[in-house]
Amino acid sequence: MNLRVPFATLDCASPIWTASGTFGYGREFAPYFDLARLGAIATKGISPEARAGNPVPRICETASGMINSIGLENVGAESFGRDKLPFLRQSGTNVIVNFFGETFDEYVACAASLDALDGVAALEMNVSCPNVKKGGVEFGVIPAVLTELTRACRSVTKRPLLVKLTPNTGDIVALARAAVAGGADGLSVINTVSAMAIDARRRRPRIATTYGGLSGPAIKPIALRMVHQVHTALPEVPISGIGGIASGEDVVEFLLAGATTVQIGTLSFSEPSAAARILDELSAFMEQERISDVRELIGALVVPAGC
């Protein structure tokens, strides 16, 4: 049975990746399963300088999901290269470095410094960050800004550049087209959905920043719809599907909708070996359905006429 998939120029041992911010810097999860089974690890989002993140509480549980407002806490690009990358480099999987900046120039500087590091397979640009100069609107929601930012980062790296789309938009296809126009080699679909939770007795928001990002099974149907819309509009562009994946069958659904790979996110917090279990379930599904090559599933959704 073949589980290998190509993604842009990457050769992935399986379509299962782990999602940024939910899998630390990889090492934390090495005791639970062989990381080489993964197609890739997307690291915690890296910024040019280290960041302490937002005040607590910055996580809260919701029905079928959680809201987080971690504030992109990370060790910064220099420490990442020195202290975290050496382990990841020998883990046997592709290392995809998720990155961001607070300004346009910071994004570009971060992409350039990460490009110089040995052992980085690809970069994944997180555009769900507030653009302070544009009134705090996320970088990724205005198509023209997204194209310009992608183009600028594209010009400073030789590695495949993935753009991770925000779902906080009325038109995901416009954002996908904007990223591809700027030179994106692949798209990660989706980041967290803007949300809030309220403590009725205390009459206060449940997280310190009032709003945060919703993740987990609650967002899976939104993510599936967006993956399908993007794949239908841009069938040549590889997509990594993300959002509430919890089983092998969930993976198959994302592949059918048009994803080439998927990323396991929030679930790894409660079940650190989830990615390995899900990969086993995917293999079992393929065996039962007599599918010899996982690539057969990509974009193979049948939409009956009239739907």
Ligand X SMILES: Cc1cc2nc3c(=O)[nH]c(=O)nc-3n(C[C@H](O)[C@H](O)[C@H](O)COP(=O)(O)O)c2cc1C
Which residues form the interface with ligand X (CB under 6 A)? Answer: 19-22, 44-45, 68, 70, 72, 98, 126, 164, 191-192, 215-216, 219, 242-245, 265-266
List 198's β-bridge partners, or say none: 205
Nearest residue to ligand X, scored by beta-carbon proximity: 21
Which residue, 237 or 291, has its beta carbon nearer to ligand X? Answer: 237
How many degrees, rounded to 5, is the angle at CA 277 between CA 41 and CA 91?
30
Q: How far is the CB of 5 from ligand X (least distance, A)?
A: 19
Q: Which residues are the active-site residues? A: 129
274/79 Cα distance (integer angstroms): 28
Q: How far is the CB of 306 from ligand X (least distance, A)?
A: 32
Which residue, 45 or 48, has its beta carbon nearer to ligand X? Answer: 45
On whether the CB atoms of residues 127 and 139 are closer than 8 A, the answer is: yes
Q: How far is the CB of 22 from ligand X (least distance, A)?
A: 5
Q: How far is the CB of 170 from ligand X (least distance, A)?
A: 19
Q: Which two tokens stand for residue 114?
A: 């990460």
Closest CA to 111 of 127, 99, 129: 99
Residue type, 19: A
Q: How far is the CB of 166 from ligand X (least distance, A)?
A: 9
Which residue, 91 or 191, has its beta carbon nearer to ligand X? Answer: 191
119/104 Cα distance (integer angstroms): 25
Q: DSSP string spanning 44-102?
A: SPB-SS-B--PPSP-EEEETTEEEE-----B--HHHIIIIIHHHHHTSSSEEEEEE--S
List 108's β-bridge partners, or say none: none
